[in-house]
Structures are given as C-alpha cells and as structure tokens.
Amino acid sequence: MEENSIMSEKPLFVRAEWDDEARVWVATSDDVPGLATEGETVEGLVQKLRVLIPELLEANGNPPKYQVPFEILTRRFEVSQHKDM
C-alpha cells in the first residue's frame, strides 16, 4: 500500500492549545511538518486546518490523493475558586 493511501485512512493528529495571553487557539502537529496556525475559536481553527493540512502535505512532497482525516486534541487550563474565597 502506498503512503498516500495510508494517509487517507489514518487520521493525522493535531494539538490545539489555548494561548491565554494572545487569546487564540494554537495548532501544531508532528504529522504535518510546518503546521503552526492559530484561530480565535476552535471552529475557526478547524476551517483553517481543512485548507492548510493538504497544502502543507503537498509542499512537503506528499500530496494527498483523497480526503485527509485529522483529529484535534484541544487543551485549555483554567482555575476555579470556591465562592467563599
């Protein structure tokens, strides 16, 4: 099975972490070399990734032949306080 066929079946893994200082979600991926983008919302970030992932795969010499599934793991740290504090 050639590499492009494998890529069309196995989801690529994307990390999205909240940058509290910049107030944006920042996405990176070991599966997509060069991927580093941001969005104000997760939904906006997904829209960017739908375009960027195939473009970056092609730029890296591995153009996808079919759809490119990807999985996003989001992470955001928060702090809660008891109401009496």
pLDDT digits (tens, 9 = 90+) for 53-70: 999 999 999 888 788 999
User: Is the CB of residue 79 less than 8 Å from the CB of residue 21?
Assistant: no
**Architecture of 3-74 per CATH?**
2-Layer Sandwich (3.30)
- Predicted TM-score (pTM) of the model is 0.79
What is the tens place of the pLDDT at every residue in 1-57?
A: 344 444 447 899 999 999 999 999 999 999 999 999 999 999 999 999 999 999 999
Helices (H), the chain: 3-9, 42-59
Per domain, the residue ranges of the chain are: 3-74
Q: What strands lie across the sheet with 12-19, from one edge to the other?
A: 36-39, 24-28, 12-19, 70-75
